DNA sequence: ACCTGAACACCGTTCAAGT
DNA sequence: ACCTGAACACCGTTCAAGT
């Protein structure tokens, strides 16, 4: 009678477990054990593991730091991208969790809206701004996914880094370069009209 | 004594199974059954499931159609990107399989080299060209991963598509837009110097 | 409202032993 | 060289039943 849990407890504990041991070790049974409960008890709080992960993904993205709106849109877009990357990096396997729920239309729409809003003062059409937000979000999540996969692979002990793809642990040069290319490409497209 | 297999048989059958039933159903036990063999027999051909998937990923990317080299580098870069996307789309969950091995430095280096070579005639430095190849490859794999995830989610039956992120089943507008932004961004950066 | 206990239908991997 | 058989240590999920 001491430990009756809420859905919030379950999600919070899942987030802790994720950060400590990674997604592979975030099983319903381990989560239950961390809550001092049988695995079957989790299914009272959540319909299945997938939905649980969607809740975890939302929590991860919620923590993305807010960004100042007083710069021009390219600077703001870069700042939003950096904030999202940092949020994903803040939890072990954060990008993979978010990626796995993004297709379900469950998570990440708040993040998408932030990227969309960032270009509000540009001369682009809404359609272009939506496409750009999607491109950027996909690049960000995909990139951090690979960043985190890599540091895990390195921990396990793989081959020595050779390609640029592999030697990106030095603070995300590929990330910055990619965001710059996308933002510059968007500016070129919009500017060509103005 | 009729069915003794080679490693190539195993990989080829894995590819068939992947395409027919998806990555979730590509288990060592099902693969063994498809080969009329015990699951343990697979471990003679391959050290573990991860390596098997890396071999499958290589096979998927090998089939990327060759691209003409007689256009300017931006056109070639776009063509290479399209060829890689088509290769990933040719097999069910192709992008996820490739994505899962890319971090290990096992698969995808051939694809990366193709993207690198495509900018050989540009005025960019080697470092810039390597970064651009990484950005493009990450965007391509990440995007197709999401495309394929999505069509799976739609098949299972999720909510109605609302965001641009979700209504991309109409032939990849986000993909084309993303590749254009990245290529244009790269051109802007290189052109600013010439 | 929240949880237990037991079961179902699976996994990847190891290893001695066979041919 | 290639495979079997049996086992180990797990999974996610369901469901009747308890408090």
Summarised one tens digit per residue, pLDDT across range A181-194 is 999 999 999 986 76
Nucleic strand C near CB of residue A36 (< 7 Å): yes
**Residue among B2, B160, B100 nearest A145 (CA):** B100
B 153-182 near A (Cβ less than 8 A): 153, 158-159, 161-166, 168, 173-174, 177-178, 180-182
CB A134 within 8 A of CB A112: yes
Nearest residue, CA→C1' of C2: A4
pLDDT digits (tens, 9 = 90+) for A140-164: 999 999 999 988 877 765 554 455 5
Option in B135, B174, B186 nearest A131 (CB): B174
What pTM was computed for the model?
Answer: 0.93
Q: Report how far residue A102's alpha carbon sits from residue B164's, in angstroms, rounded to the nearest whole number.
A: 12
Helix (H, G, I), strand (E, B) or coil at B35: coil
CB contact under 8 A, B188 and A189: no
Residues B136-184 pLDDT 10s = 999 999 999 999 998 887 776 655 445 555 555 456 899 999 999 999 9
Distance of CA A33 to the CA centre of its chain: 27
pLDDT over 70 (residue B65): yes
Nearest residue on chain A to B128, alpha-carbon basis = A177
Rounded to whole angstroms, the Cα distance separating A17 from A184 reads 39
Using CB atoms, which residue from B138, B163, B180 is nearest to A112?
B163
Contact B164 A105 (CB under 8 A): no
């Amino acid at each position: 009678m001491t430990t009756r849990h809420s859905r919030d407890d379950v999600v919070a504990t899942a987030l802790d477990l994720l950060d400590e041991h990674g997604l592979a070790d975030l099983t319903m049974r381990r989560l239950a054990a961390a809550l001092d409960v049988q695995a079957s008890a989790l299914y009272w709080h959540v319909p299945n593991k997938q939905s649980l992960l969607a809740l975890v993904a939302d929590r991860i993205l919620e923590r993305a730091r807010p960004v100042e709106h007083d710069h021009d849109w390219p600077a703001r877009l870069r700042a939003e991208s950096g904030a999202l990357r940092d949020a994903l990096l803040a939890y072990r396997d954060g990008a993979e969790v978010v990626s796995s729920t993004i297709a379900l239309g469950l998570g990440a729409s708040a993040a998408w809206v932030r990227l969309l809003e960032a270009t509000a003062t540009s001369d682009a059409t809404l359609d272009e701004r939506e496409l750009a937000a999607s491109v950027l979000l996909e690049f960000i999540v995909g990139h951090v996914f690979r960043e985190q996969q890599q540091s895990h692979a390195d921990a396990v002990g793989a081959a020595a880094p050779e390609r640029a793809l592999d030697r990106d642990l030095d603070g995300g040069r590929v990330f910055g370069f990619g965001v710059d290319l996308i933002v510059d490409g968007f500016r070129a497209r919009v500017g060509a009209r103005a």
